[in-house]
Structure 1
Amino acid sequence: MALNKELSTTYDQFLETAPKEISSVIVDAASNFKSVYDPAKAIQPGSPFPQFQLSDAIGNKVSLNDLLAKGPILVSFYRGEWCPFCNVELRALQTHLDEFHQKGVTLVAVSPELPNQSLSTSEKLSLKFPVLSDVGNQLAKNLGLLFPQPESMRDVFDKFGVDWNQRYGNDNLELPVPATFLVDKEGIVRNSFVNPEYQYRLDPETALHWIDQL
C-alpha cells in the first residue's frame, strides 16, 4: 500500500516540523471530531448516489448522469489544495488513471473549493481527470461527510496563509471528510471508504480490486 506509506511519512514529518502551538490545535480538532463522527451515518453500499450538478475546473456543469453515461465512476472527496495529504492522494490517483480507464471507470475528484482553485489544483498536479467544485459542501452534506471545524482552526489557516473566503467562497470552515465511493453504472454505491482521520486515504490498488468485483 504505497499511498498510505507516503501519507504516514508525510504525517510524521508534519508532527516533527510544525510548531507545537499549531500541530496541537490540528491534532485536537481531528481527535475531537473522530470521537463524535460516526462513519456508519455516511452513505452506505447499496444506496443510490444522490443526484448532483457541479462545476468543473473551467466552469462547465457536470451531473451524475453525465458521468454515469460513460459507465461506473470512482468519486474521491478531498479537502483542498492546501492539504498535503490530499495532494499525495490525487497524485496517486493520477498515476493509476490509465488502469481505471482500461476498466471502464471514470475517476472524478470533488472538493468544496471554488472552480478557479480546482483549476489551480489540476494544473499544479497535472491531473487528467475531472475535479469538481462542491461549493458549500452540499453534496458532502447529503452523503454524511461534513466536518464542521472548530473556530480554533481559523488561526491555523491564517498562519498558513490560507484565505478561506477567497478559496471557498464562505467563512464557515466546513470541510468534507476524505472519502472515496465506487458507483456502478446504475448509480448505486458499491463500495465506500470513509475515515475521519484525514491522514488515511483509500489506496488506488484497493479501488482497482473493488472495480474487478463489479
Structure 2
Amino acid sequence: MATLFEEIKSYKETFKQKAPEEKQRIMAQATKELEESGIAKGLKTGDHAPDFTLPDATGQSVSLNEELSKGPVIITFYRGGWCPYCNLELKAYQAKLPDIQEAGAQLIAISPETPDSSLSTKEKNNLQYKVLSDEKNRVAEQFDLVFKMPDYLIDVYKDSGLDVPGHNGNEDWELPKPATFIVAQSGEIIFADVDSDYTKRTAPEKVIDILKNHQ
C-alpha cells in the first residue's frame, strides 16, 4: 500500500500535467505569500491545548476533555472534503486507525465544513473516527491556524467550481492551515505540525511513532 507521501506525490504530478500553468502559478503564489506573512503559525509543542466542544458529522457533541479522559488525542485540522490532499490524508489515517487505537489514542479530524458536509466527507472516505464541524473556524482560531484566502485565489477556486462557502455555510472564505497535533492526557501538546503549504501533511506513521515513544 502506498504511503501518504507517495499518494500526494502522485497526485501533485498529475495536477502539474493537467492543470493550466496560470492556475498553478497563482496557487503557488498564494502559498508563498501565506508562508511569508507569518500569520497563523499554530500552537507549539509544550503549549496547552484549549478545550473545545464541537458537533460530529451526526450532530453529536464531542469535547476534547472527554476524549482526553480515554487517552492522548490526535487532532488533525483539514480544509474540507473538497480538497484532494485532505481526502488523501483522511484516508491514510483511516488505514492506520488500528495502530493508533493500539497505541491508546483517539483520533479527531476537524474542518470548517457544516455537519452535513462533514458527514459527506466521512461517508465518502469511509472514516471510522470522529469528524467534527468547526463552523466559523472558532476552534481553529484558538489553535492559531486561520487565514483568509486572497481575492485572486478565491477567483481561481470559483472558476474551478469549488464552492467553499457552500461547504462551510458562510461567505468568509477563511480556512485553517492543515495541521496535526498530539495532545497528552494532561492537555499538553506533545507534537505540532503546521504548514502553509496545503500539499504537505503529517504522515500517520510519524504520529504513531511519537505516541509509542511517549508511552
Instruction: Tell me the TM-score normalized by structure 1.
Output: 0.95
Aligned to 2:31: 30
SS at 1:162 equivalent: coil
Q: Give the drift of 1:157.
A: 2.0
Aligned to 1:54: 54
Q: Which amino acid aligns with 2:136?
A: G
Kept in 2, the 8 Å contact 1:91–1:125? The answer is: yes
Q: Distance in 2 between matches of 1:178 and 1:163?
A: 19
Unaligned runs of 5+ in 1: none
Q: Distance in 1 between matches of 2:38 and 2:210?
A: 25
Kept in 1, the 8 Å contact 2:39–2:147? The answer is: no
Q: Distance in 1 between matches of 2:130 and 2:159?
A: 30
Once superposed, what is the RMSD of the aligned Cα atoms? 1.5
Q: Is 2:60 the counterpart of 1:70? A: no
Q: Give the drift of 1:79.
A: 0.4
Aligned to 1:121: 121
Q: Distance in 1 between matches of 2:190 and 2:38?
A: 22
Greater shift, 138-147 or 126-135, is seen at 138-147
Aligned to 1:16: 17
Q: Distance in 2 between matches of 1:121 and 1:38?
A: 28
Q: Which runs of structure 1 show a deviation greater than 3 angstroms over 4 or more consecutive aligned residues?
A: none
Q: Distance in 2 between matches of 1:19 and 1:83?
A: 18
Aligned to 2:147: 147
Q: Which amino acid aligns with 1:63?
A: S
Residue deviations 1:30-82 (CA, integer Å, cap 9, x gap): 1111112367x421111110011111001111111121121110000100111
Unaligned runs of 5+ in 2: none
Q: Give the drift of 1:188.
A: 1.0
Kept in 2, the 8 Å contact 1:37–1:196? The answer is: no
Q: Distance in 2 between matches of 1:14 and 1:34?
A: 22
Q: Which amino acid aligns with 1:153?
A: L
Q: Distance in 1 between matches of 2:208 and 2:81?
A: 25
Describe how 1:82-121 pairs up with structure 2 within 5 A.
82-121=82-121
SS at 1:207 equivalent: helix
Aligned to 1:188: 188
Aligned length: 213
Kept in 2, the 8 Å contact 1:75–1:181? The answer is: yes
Greater shift, 65-74 or 117-126, is seen at 65-74
Q: Distance in 1 between matches of 2:185 and 2:165?
A: 36
Q: Distance in 1 between matches of 2:37 and 2:9?
A: 23
Q: Give the drift of 1:23.
A: 2.1
SS at 1:8 equivalent: helix
Q: Distance in 2 between matches of 1:67 and 1:109?
A: 13
Kept in 2, the 8 Å contact 1:42–1:145? The answer is: yes
Instruction: Tell me the TM-score normalized by structure 2.
Output: 0.94
Q: Distance in 1 between matches of 2:129 and 2:83?
A: 19
